[in-house]
Amino acid sequence: PSHVVVIQALMYLPRAIIHGGGSVQRLGTLLADMGLKRPLVVADKFLASPQSGAVGKVCAALSATAAPFEVFTDTIPDPTTESVERCVDALAAGNFDSIVALGGGSPMDTAKAAAVLYKQGGRMRDYKAPYQNDGASLPIVAIPTTAGTGSEATKFTIVTDSETQEKMLCVGVAYLPIAAILDYELTLTKPFRLTADTGIDAICHAMEAYVSAKHNPLADGFAISAMQKLGGSLYTACHSPSDAAAREAMLLGSCQAGMAFSNASVTLIHGMSRPLGALFHIPHGMCNAMLLPRCISFSTEGAVARYAEASRMLGLCAASETDDDAAGGFARALHKVTSDLEVPTLQGFGVDEAAFRQAVPRMATAALASGSPGNNPVVPSQAQVEVLFHELWDHECRASATG
């Protein structure tokens, strides 16, 4: 029929994904199969500690194949251009042919940025969005230790400019890992707060991809499957951290959410979250969790059927509810989730109100410049984004003061 809309979409995914408990043991073989002989393991100091043991497991897997490797742990949370340069220097000093990126979003973002700078030269600010970087990069095998960013399957990295403090989104196939290993055993020791924040981040990825103006049938499949897994497992993973089934579902859901948003993009939540996190040093997942209910409340009317379906997939309403009811109650249901999981208010996190209010115009400008709000079902103006930021303080902080 003539009314059928033909959607042309392009999907980029890692070449290989291995998943299952203990699958990190297959790292050496995976590298060998891909012809990679000298990897630099990029992690952080905690993962290298005996308390974590994650780097130890990776080293054991690499030692089994007798491939020469070294470990770099000089990464920081929310990597900066300065911290990425240290990783580039390590790559240059050791003549490595690949990177094993181990960790949450920060070691992965560091590894992705360093892999590109090592091959292409230049500075990260030359490569920030909307620039599409599809150039050369060192091959990356990504091993996530949190169920959140989905970075192991995405063509994005986020790095803060050390000079301007701008949190730069960098986009392109150059940042996409060639392979990922999803070993949920590496996530079993993650504490409640980290599990909750990274889990809500993953839910945002899946849901934003599903309602994005760039949604497409293939990405939808990943987003729907991700929402079902994440919605069904988040509370269990938070409250019963050693529950293997919940941890595996969270890790697989997070990866599928990464595949979805890497190919359909994120929307308003992530657009507002980046400048908020950059200026007030709030962890990325927690920023998304703080913003989630307000942004959904603003956006629902633009995609009622899709928000209703998202609510059903996440298990936040009855399957029999009408689209209007399901979408109408979605923001409230998400607010209950963030309350149940003890997501702090801005005030509770220690943000100064005057500094926050003063930063609102700047944050709104940065949010819109990222391009993400342009994919939102309701595309906001600068003034509307400013109002949403002010409401975030007014509603959340007032509610916590009275509650």
Q: Which secondary structure element, helix H or strand E, spans residue 240, and what is its range?
A: none
Give the angle subtended at the CA of 156 by the CAs of 82 and 176, to the nearest 5°: 105
3.20.20.70, 1.20.1090.10, 1.10.10.10, 3.40.50.920: which CATH number matches 192-402?
Answer: 1.20.1090.10
Residue ranges per structural domain of the chain: 16-187, 192-402
> Is residue 42 a contact partner of residue 99, using CB atoms and an 8 Å limit?
yes
Compute the distance between CA of residue 239 and CA of residue 258 in angstroms, rounded to an integer.
24
Question: What residues contact 81, with CB distance under 8 A and at least 6 apart?
Answer: 123, 124, 125, 159, 160, 161, 162, 163
- Cis ω for the linkage preceding 191 (within 30 of 0): no
Is domain 16-187 classified as CATH 3.40.50.1820?
Answer: no
pTM of the complete model beyond 0.85 = yes
Phi and psi torsions of 92, nearest 5°: -65, -40
Q: Are β-strands 167-171 and 156-160 bridged in parallel, bridged antiparallel, or unpaired? A: antiparallel
Compute the distance between CA of residue 130 and CA of residue 236 in angstroms, rounded to an integer.
38
> Is residue 233 a contact partner of residue 25, using CB atoms and an 8 Å limit?
no
pLDDT in tens for each of the 403 residues of the chain? 556 666 678 899 999 999 999 999 999 999 999 999 999 999 999 999 999 999 999 999 999 888 899 999 999 988 999 999 999 999 999 999 999 999 998 999 999 999 999 999 999 999 998 899 999 999 999 999 999 899 999 999 999 999 988 888 899 999 999 999 999 999 999 999 999 999 999 999 999 999 999 999 999 999 999 999 999 999 999 999 999 999 999 999 999 999 999 999 999 999 999 999 989 999 999 999 999 999 999 999 999 999 999 999 999 999 999 999 999 999 999 999 999 999 999 999 999 999 999 999 999 999 999 899 999 999 999 999 999 999 999 976 655 554 4
